[in-house]
Amino acid sequence: MSVSFGPTIIKYALDHYVPDFNSSDKTGPHSYNESVYESLGLNK
């Protein structure tokens, strides 16, 4: 997993990535939509 170096998006990724993708068949890189960054008050 690779995220921008910022505590807000890192915490979001740690809290959401595993539960959301653990049981899916998705593989490879994952990136969050711009709306996720905006909802966290961040600019991608």
> Is residue 33 assigned to a domain?
yes
Give the integer Cα–Cα distance in Å for 32 and 15.
13
Instruction: Specify the pLDDT at position 25.
Output: 83
Instruction: Specify the pLDDT at position 27.
Output: 78
Give the integer Cα–Cα distance in Å for 44 and 24.
25
> Is residue 31 assigned to a domain?
yes
The residue to which tokens 């595993």 are assigned: 18
Instruction: Specify the pLDDT at position 35.
Output: 92
Instruction: Specify the pLDDT at position 29.
Output: 78
> Is residue 1 assigned to a domain?
no
> Is residue 30 assigned to a domain?
yes
- Name, in order, each residue with C-beta under 8 angstroms of 43's C-beta and a sequence gap of 6 or more: 37
**Range of the structural domain that residue 19 is part of:** 7-39
Total count of domains within the chain: 1
Per-residue model confidence as pLDDT tens for the chain (44 residues): 555 668 888 889 888 887 777 777 877 777 888 899 899 998 75
> Is residue 26 assigned to a domain?
yes
CA 4 to chain centre: 9
> Is residue 2 assigned to a domain?
no
> Is residue 22 assigned to a domain?
yes
Three-state secondary-structure class, residue 16: helix
Instruction: Specify the pLDDT at position 4.
Output: 61
